[in-house]
C-alpha cells in the first residue's frame, strides 16, 4: 500500500512541479509550494485511481485530476490552520503556512491553490472532451463551496461547545471532508460519460469513504501521538468539537467505522477482483497513524 501511495505521490508532485514551472513566476509561488509539497499522503488521488481502475481509465488523466484535487486539499489545510479557523501551528510535522509566511500570505497562497485546481482542469493541454471537462469542473466546484468543504467547515466551527445530533455531525463531516472524496469517486464515471444515476451512486460511496476518513482522523486526535500524526492531537476535546467520539464514545466509533468499511465493500463487490485496491485503501484509512 505504502509503495502504491509513494508512486502516486511522486507522479502527482512531478505533474504539479512541471505545471508550476510553466507558469510565470510570482512571490506567492514559494508559500504555495510549501503548502503543496510538504509531504501529504495523497490518499484522495489513490481513491481516484482505485475507482478509475474499476473502469479501466487512463492513469495519466487520473493523475491530472488528482493534482487538481490535491491543490484544493492543500488550500483547505492552509486555511484550516489559520487563527480564525482551527488555529494550528504544526502541519505535516512542520510549521503551518501562516506560521512560516504570515497570515495574509497564507490566505493568498491558499486562494491561489484553490484557483490553480481550475487552471489545471481547464488547461488546453488536458485533452479530454469539452463537455466532460465542463462536467468535471462543475462537480469539483460544487464539492468545494458552500455545499461542500467550505460549508462543512462552517458547520464544524459553529458546532463547537454545542450539543449536536448524530445526523448533524455526519452532515458536517460528510461536507467538510467527504465532498472531496465524493468528487474523487464521481470523476472516473464523469470521464467515462456515465449517466447521472451511476455518478450519484459513486458520489454516495465517496461520501461514505470521506466520513470513514474523518472518523479515522478524529480517532487519531483522540488516541494518536502528535509525533506520529505530524500535528497536535487531543485538540477536539479541548475545543469542544462535535465528533462521533464525543457522542458515541471511542469503542462505538471504531465499530461505526468498521461497519462503514463493510458497507462500502458491499457496494463495490460487483467489480470482483478489480475492487481489491479500494478495499485495501479503506483498511489503510482506518489503521493509519497520520
- Chain residues binding ligand GRG by CB under 6 A are 40-41, 43, 73, 76-77, 79-80, 85, 92, 149-150, 153, 176-177, 214, 217
Work out how close the CB of 69 gets to ligand GRG at its nearest, in angstroms, rounded to a whole number.
11
CB atoms within 10 A of CB 224: 18
For ligand GRG, the closer of residues 79 and 98 by Cβ is 79
Pairing of strands 90-91, 94-95: antiparallel
For ligand GRG, the closer of residues 88 and 119 by Cβ is 88
The residues pairing with 95 across neighbouring beta strands, listed in sequence order, are: 90
- Is residue 224 classed as helix, strand or coil in its secondary structure? coil
Q: How many Cα atoms sit within 13 Å of 130 on the Cβ side?
A: 0
Work out how close the CB of 77 gets to ligand GRG at its nearest, in angstroms, rounded to a whole number.
5
For ligand GRG, the closer of residues 74 and 135 by Cβ is 74
For ligand GRG, the closer of residues 4 and 41 by Cβ is 41
- The grid coordinates of residue 233 equal 492531537
User: Backbone phi, then psi, for 130, in 5-degree steps?
Assistant: -60, -40
Work out how close the CB of 154 gets to ligand GRG at its nearest, in angstroms, rounded to a whole number.
8
Tell me the residue nearest to ligand GRG as measured from the CB: 40
Work out how close the CB of 40 gets to ligand GRG at its nearest, in angstroms, rounded to a whole number.
3
Of residues 85, 110, 103, the one with CA closest to residue 34 = 110
For ligand GRG, the closer of residues 133 and 232 by Cβ is 232
Work out how close the CB of 213 gets to ligand GRG at its nearest, in angstroms, rounded to a whole number.
6
Q: How far apart are CA 290 and CA 286, in angstroms?
A: 10
Amino acid at each position: 500500500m505504502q509503495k502504491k501511495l509513494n508512486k502516486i505521490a511522486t507522479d502527482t508532485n512531478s505533474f504539479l512541479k512541471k505545471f508550476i514551472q510553466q507558469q510565470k513566476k510570482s512571490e506567492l509561488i514559494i508559500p504555495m509550494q510549501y503548502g503543496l509539497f510538504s509531504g501529504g499522503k495523497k490518499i484522495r488521488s489513490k481513491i481516484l485511481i482505485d475507482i478509475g481502475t474499476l473502469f479501466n481509465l487512463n492513469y495519466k488523466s487520473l493523475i491530472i485530476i488528482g493534482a487538481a484535487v490535491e491543490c484544493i486539499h492543500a488550500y483547505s489545510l492552509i486555511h484550516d490552520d489559520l487563527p480564525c479557523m482551527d488555529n494550528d501551528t504544526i502541519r505535516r510535522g512542520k510549521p503551518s503556512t501562516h506560521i512560516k509566511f504570515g497570515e495574509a500570505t497564507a490566505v493568498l497562497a491558499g486562494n491561489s491553490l484553490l484557483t490553480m485546481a481550475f487552471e489545471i482542469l481547464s488547461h488546453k493541454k488536458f485533452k479530454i472532451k469539452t463537455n466532460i471537462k465542463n462536467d468535471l469542473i462543475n462537480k469539483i466546484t460544487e464539492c468545494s463551496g458552500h455545499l461542500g468543504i467550505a460549508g462543512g467547515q462552517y458547520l464544524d466551527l459553529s458546532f463547537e461547545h454545542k450539543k449536536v445530533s448524530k445526523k448533524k455531525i455526519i452532515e458536517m463531516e460528510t461536507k467538510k471532508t467527504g465532498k472531496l472524496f465524493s468528487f474523487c469517486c464521481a470523476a472516473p464515471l464523469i470521464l467515462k460519460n456515465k449517466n447521472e444515476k451511476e455518478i450519484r451512486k459513486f458520489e454516495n460511496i465517496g461520501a461514505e469513504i470521506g466520513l470513514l476518513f474523518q472518523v479515522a482522523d478524529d480517532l487519531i486526535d483522540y488516541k494518536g501521538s502528535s509525533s506520529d500524526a505530524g500535528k497536535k492531537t487531543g485538540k477536539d476535546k479541548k475545543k469542544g468539537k462535535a465528533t462521533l467520539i464525543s457522542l458515541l464514545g471511542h469503542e462505538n466509533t471504531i465499530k461505526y467505522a468498521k461497519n462503514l468499511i463493510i458497507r462500502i465493500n458491499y457496494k463495490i463487490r460487483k467489480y470482483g477482483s478489480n475492487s481489491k485496491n479500494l478495499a485495501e485503501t479503506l483498511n489503510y484509512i482506518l489503521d493509519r497513524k497520520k
